[in-house]
Amino acid sequence: MKAVYVKEFGGAENLELREVENPPRTAGKEVLVNVKASALNRADLLQRKGFYPAPEGFPERILGLEFAGEVSEIGAEVANFNPGDRVFGITAGGAQAEFLLSDESLLASIPENLSFTEAAAVPEAFITAHDAIFTNARLKENETLMIHAVGSGVGLAALQLAKARNIKVIGTSRTADKLEKCEKLGLDFGIVTGGVSFDANPKIFAELVQHLNAEKGIDVILDLVGAAYFQANLESLNLKGRLILVGTTSGAKAELNFSQVMSKRLKIIGTVLRSRAGGEKAEATAAFAAEVVPLLADGTLKPNIDQIFKIEEIQKAHEYLESNASFGKVVLEF
Ligand SMILES: NC(=O)c1ccc[n+]([C@@H]2O[C@H](COP(=O)([O-])OP(=O)(O)OC[C@H]3O[C@@H](n4cnc5c(N)ncnc54)[C@H](OP(=O)(O)O)[C@@H]3O)[C@@H](O)[C@H]2O)c1
């Protein structure tokens, strides 16, 4: 089968589409998926550079964390899927290949209104966002959510999920143009952070946020950016606010004033999907299938596709994601 292969860890020029061995025959609850489309993630860029090794049992040099495709074979104990079914989901690696083995508990059925290309833009962004803001941070309907890098794949998914429950959302981006597009998707207020060091002025950021939010602090912050906004986040949170840490593009280390966290009784939560045990991933997938897929089926939620590349254009796709120009997902078609 064809797969996206990392020849040497380093730049995008080291990627190629290579013939590799097909996965073994299905056993037990395994499903063999004929992948029709996948999408890129920041983790692919890091793995390509040799900074984010695949967990044990997943290919070191075949990239890909999400897929949409057709069931081609099922193990003897598979209960919920049959050959020919259209499925999508997440995996810890190897999704940018023509075939992929997945446990059935990590698959969801693609709604009829979505093509494979559209479906491939959904799993990583929507499962991460749903699991972070609702399952982990317990965001409620009368609360306010702030999303850093709201124009990212995960950010746009979180924005749509929150607006589907009528939750007020403030978003940040370094790019004004992305915030304008987000406002068309329901963002209540956007804050351009490009060129401004809010880490140096955390109180100014918090005052601005309060001004935008009827003089109240924020209940939940979905941080897809990392260290640069840490102080500003602590200043901006309401009493009993929750900060959910999901990404580290701006750095992974910051200083913490314990008293600030204690006096406001804040919760700082970290999350990562890729290295979770199968059972926990299955729970996140089941929550996605129950609460997100029906909203995709009725059109309330929509995949956020920025660009579609043919799988042969994998080098160009990586360079594009790395440029930070994307607004939503970069999809790869087989
Ligand atoms: N923990 C998990 O399980 C998990 C799962 C999925 C994704 N993630 C992480 O979540 C984050 C978002 O993922 P994604 O796929 O949605 O990202 P994406 O679509 O690639 O967008 C990332 C955006 O972050 C902003 N950004 C990049 N570098 C930045 C910096 N140094 N400072 C501030 N902003 C910066 C840029 O937008 P602007 O134009 O707005 O600056 C960029 O477009 C990534 O860090 C990713 O690794 C974590």
In the predicted structure, residue 213 carries a pLDDT above the cut 90: no
Answer yes or no: is the C-beta of 307 below 6 A from any ligand 1 atom: no
User: What length is written for the chain?
Assistant: 334
Give the DSSP letter of residue 237.
E
> How far away, in angstroms, is 150 Cα from ligand 1 center?
9
pLDDT at 286 over 80: yes
pLDDT at 215: 87
pLDDT at 80: 97
Provide the percentage of residues in the chain whose pLDDT is more than 70: 100
Average pLDDT over residues 14-36: 96
Q: In this prediction, what percent of the chain has a pLDDT beyond 90?
A: 93
pLDDT over threshold 80, residue 41: yes
What domains are there in the chain, each with its CATH number?
2-122+274-333 (3.90.180.10), 125-270 (3.90.180.10)
- Amino acid letter, 229: Y
pTM of the model: 0.97
Residue located nearest, by CA, to atom 17 of ligand 1: 152
pLDDT 10s digits, 156-173: 999 999 999 999 999 999
Q: Is residue 273 lining ligand 1, measured as CB closer than 6 Å?
A: yes
- The pLDDT of residue 298 is 98
Q: Is the pLDDT of residue 126 over 90?
A: yes
Categorize the per-residue pLDDT at 44 as very low, low, confident or very high, splitting at 50, 70 and 90: very high
In which band, very low, low, confident or very high, does the pLDDT at 112 lie, cut at 50, 70 and 90? very high
Ligand 1 pocket, residue 47 CB under 6 Å: no
pLDDT for the residue numbered 202:
85
Rg (CA), the chain: 20
What distance in Å separates the CA atoms of residue 113 and residue 302, rounded to the nearest whole number? Answer: 10
Residue 137: is its pLDDT beyond 80? yes
Which is more confident, 270 or 204?
270
Average pLDDT of the residues in 24-44 = 97
How many other CB atoms sit within 10 Å of the CB of residue 156? Answer: 30
pLDDT of res. 214: 82
DSSP strand E in the chain: where?
2-6, 15-19, 30-39, 66-74, 86-90, 99-103, 107-109, 144-148, 168-173, 189-192, 218-223, 237-245, 267-270, 305-310, 329-333
Residue 102: per-residue pLDDT:
97
- At residue 273 the predicted structure's pLDDT band, cuts being 50, 70 and 90, is very high
What's the confidence (pLDDT) of residue 21?
95
In angstroms, the CA 90 to CA 87 distance is 11
Q: Answer whether residue 321 shows pLDDT above 90.
A: yes
Distance CA 334, CA 329 (A): 16
Whether the predicted pLDDT of 127 surpasses 90: yes
Q: Which residues have a Cβ under 8 Å from the Cβ of 287 and sit 6 or more positions away?
A: 130, 131, 134, 135
Query: What's the 226 CA to ligand 1 centre distance in angstroms?
Result: 9
| Residues 31, 32, 34, 36, CA torsion sign | positive
In testing the pocket of ligand 1, which one of 249, 269, 274, 306 has its CB within 8 Å of the most ligand atoms?
249
Residue 183 — very low, low, confident or very high, per pLDDT cuts 50/70/90?
A: very high
For residue 200, name the pLDDT band (cuts at 50, 70, 90): confident
Q: How far apart are CA 247 and CA 227, in angstroms?
A: 9
SS3 call for 177: helix
Nearest-atom number in ligand 1 for the CA of 306 is: 19
Sorting pLDDT into bands at 50, 70 and 90, what band is 198? confident
> What's the pLDDT tens digit per position in 61-78?
999 999 999 999 999 999
**pLDDT number for residue 195:** 76
Q: What is the mean pLDDT of residues 7-18?
A: 98
